[in-house]
Amino acid sequence: MPKLGKLKTRFKIQRALNVELPGLGKPGALERRAYPPGQHGFRRRKISEYALRLREKQKVMFHYCLREEQLRRFVIKAKRGKSSNWMNTLVQDLELRLDNLVFRLGFASSILASRQMVRHGKVKVNGKTVDIPSYITKPKDKITLTVEAYKGTVYLQSKQNPRLPLATYLSRDESSEGDIGSIDALPTFEDIPFSLEQNLVIEYYSKVRP
């Protein structure tokens, strides 16, 4: 997985996949050219079935800023669950990751920025500091920041220019210090903030055993 530190790299990834991935931060990757890299985006070779499945999987991987082995572990865990559609479980686990929630609540402009906030001990779950970005939250949990984080540029800039509207499974209340985020329900596939063909992801991981 390429490093995602530079905006140019993030834009290149989104152009290659021909989709904006909000988790990578600043919008506009497709504004200048809504086609993949190459000579005007034209491809003489027909895209294979495998390539189509790979592209959908990569959307998930890059949006949530995961390595392949990390995403595969989530898939294995989801397949071990009780749901008949393991993709639903996968979406729930990815959306309920703490780094994703800090982003979806509008506390940071990207998942990378929110991940850094979590690692630096600036995020609290139910009043207790949690510094593990992959921590899986649950409905009724409350997400807040430290006093220092509420005054920081990451939070203030994101609050002024939110990257996404608030997801349907979340709510946000104001306090004297800063916003308080709440998880009101389990996320669903419809809460994913980018276009995704879930059947192609399911096919890509069809041989992965729980």
pLDDT of residue 40: 47
- Tens digits of residue pLDDT in 67-89: 999 999 999 999 998 888 999 99
pLDDT of residue 83: 82
- Tens digits of residue pLDDT in 113-155: 999 999 999 999 999 999 999 999 999 999 999 999 999 999 9
Q: What domains can you pick out in the chain, each with its CATH number?
A: 7-86+194-204 (1.10.1050.10), 97-185 (3.10.290.10)
pTM of the model: 0.89
Answer whether residue 206 shows pLDDT above 60. yes
Averaged pLDDT, 160-178:
94
Structure-block tokens of residue 63: 């949006």
Q: Is 71 exposed, middle or buried (0-12, 13-18, 19+ CB in 10 A)?
A: buried
Phi, psi of 129 (to 5 degrees): -65, 130
Distance, CA of 30 to CA of 91 (rounded, Å): 25
Averaged pLDDT, 1-15:
74
Instruction: Return the SS3 of 108.
Output: coil
First to last CA, the chain: 24
pLDDT of residue 1: 46
pLDDT of residue 38: 53
Phi-psi region of 87 (alpha: psi -120 to 50; beta: other; left: phi over 0): alpha
Q: Considering the chain, what is the average pLDDT of its residues? A: 91
- Tens digits of residue pLDDT in 22-47: 999 989 888 865 455 554 444 556 78
Phi, psi of 114 (to 5 degrees): -70, -35
Answer whether residue 2 shows pLDDT above 70. no
pLDDT of residue 4: 61
pLDDT of residue 151: 96
